């Protein structure tokens, strides 16, 4: 059974209890598989990137046919931190919903880049308008490797100063694996949402000597994205927000605790890198 996320941000908990650990967040328009109906309030779900947790049923549209159709048609993501969906194509219009970066919608009418507004359809069936440049069609294979690497780094950097939130992955708060997984997702690639390399996902291990912009650095319980020039961007519990640090001990933002504890390096382009 499939379902569609029908709220701006929906918490995934470790147990069917709102006071239990937040293990992940799922954003508006994402689809999930329902693994178990726990009781009248809770369901256990699995995300597209195979993460599992418990969420409130009231936050989902539970309809296998609708969810399957939505999954096939909704290929547009919000790239603005926060985007209002309005009843009409003007700023004074009534708000239907507010969505965060990473939310999924259907573009009903493709607009020229010079046009300010795009008509979009929500999972609820409501139709509204939002700024055209706040929406992106996420397909990774339309760009070169060099462009993808640059794009994924710039996407990660767009979260700079976002507060650290355990299990978070929105501009309201994001953790280390949330940052890296969202940067890739917003560029059309689903990677594992955790600080480790997992079989069955596109990130493969490479050596530190092969690292390039956009590759991932793994530490004990932590993950960061390499930016080039010994710099990396990450959401750090120690720093309390998304920030940039360095692997170079002579750099003012060097962090010895991370630079000396790298456990692995991963790349989407491992086949081209490993000899």
- Which residues are part of the catalytic machinery? 176, 222, 234
Strand order of the β-sheet with 76-78 is: 95-100, 82-86, 127-131, 117-121, 104-109, 76-78, 135-137
Q: Could you tell me which residues are beta bridge partners of residue 241?
A: 163, 236
Which distant-in-sequence residues (6+ apart) come within 8 Å of 36 by Cβ? 43, 44
d(CA 232, CA 218): 11
d(CA 270, CA 218): 15
Q: Measure CA 159 to chain center.
A: 11
- Angstrom distances, CA of residue 261 to CA of 182, 226, 237: 24, 15, 16
Is the CB of residue 217 less than 8 Å from the CB of residue 232?
A: yes
């Amino acid at each position: 059974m499939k379902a569609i996320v029908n709220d701006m941000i929906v918490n995934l908990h470790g147990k069917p209890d709102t006071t239990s650990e937040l293990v992940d967040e799922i954003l508006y328009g994402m689809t999930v598989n329902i693994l178990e109906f726990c009781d009248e309030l809770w369901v256990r779900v699995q995300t597209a990137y195979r993460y599992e947790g418990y969420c409130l049923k009231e936050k989902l549209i539970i309809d296998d046919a609708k969810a399957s159709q939505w999954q096939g048609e909704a290929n547009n993501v919000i790239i603005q931190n926060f985007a209002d969906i309005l009843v009409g194509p003007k700023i004074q219009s009534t708000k239907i919903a507010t969505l965060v970066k990473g939310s999924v919608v259907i573009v009903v009418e493709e607009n020229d880049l010079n046009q300010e507004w795009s008509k979009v359809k929500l999972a609820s069936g409501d139709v509204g308008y939002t700024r055209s440049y706040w929406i992106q069609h996420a397909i990774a294979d339309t760009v070169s490797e060099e462009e993808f690497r640059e794009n994924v780094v710039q996407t990660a950097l767009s979260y700079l100063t976002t507060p650290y939130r355990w299990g978070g992955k929105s501009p309201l708060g994001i953790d280390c694996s949330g940052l890296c997984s969202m940067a890739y997702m917003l560029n059309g690639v689903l990677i594992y949402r955790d600080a480790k390399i997992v079989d069955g996902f596109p990130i493969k291990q490479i050596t530190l000597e092969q690292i390039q912009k956009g590759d991932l650095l793994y530490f004990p319980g932590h993950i960061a994205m390499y930016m080039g020039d010994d710099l990396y961007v990450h959401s750090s519990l120690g720093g309390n927000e998304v920030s940039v640090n360095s692997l170079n001990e002579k750099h003012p933002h060097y962090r010895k605790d991370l630079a000396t504890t790298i456990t692995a390096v991963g790349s989407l382009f491992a086949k081209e890198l490993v000899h």
